[in-house]
Amino acid sequence: MSDKQLALAAIEQLPEEANIRDIAERMRFLAAIQEGIEAADAGRVKPVDVVEKEFREWAATLSSPTRR
């Protein structure tokens, strides 16, 4: 499916009362997914254990006393 076909299909699935901001948000969402797929296909990924470690470190900074 081409990008244009994907965009048209996504717009068709939105409710009739969707406005231009809703459409733009859906397009940004689809673009982010496509970027992720392309990154994964190119091997630009991190192992789950690395991501979990980074997440724990990041979460710890949110609860640190210096952030309050």
Burial of 23 (0-12, 13-18, 19+ CB in 10 A): middle
In tens, the pLDDT along 24-41 reads 999 999 999 999 999 999
- Annotated domain spans of the chain: 3-67
The pTM (predicted TM-score) of the whole model is 0.67
In tens, the pLDDT along 3-25 reads 999 999 999 999 999 999 999 99
Handedness of CA 32, 33, 34, 38 (dihedral sign): positive
Mean pLDDT for the chain overall: 94
The H or E element containing residue 54 is helix 48-62
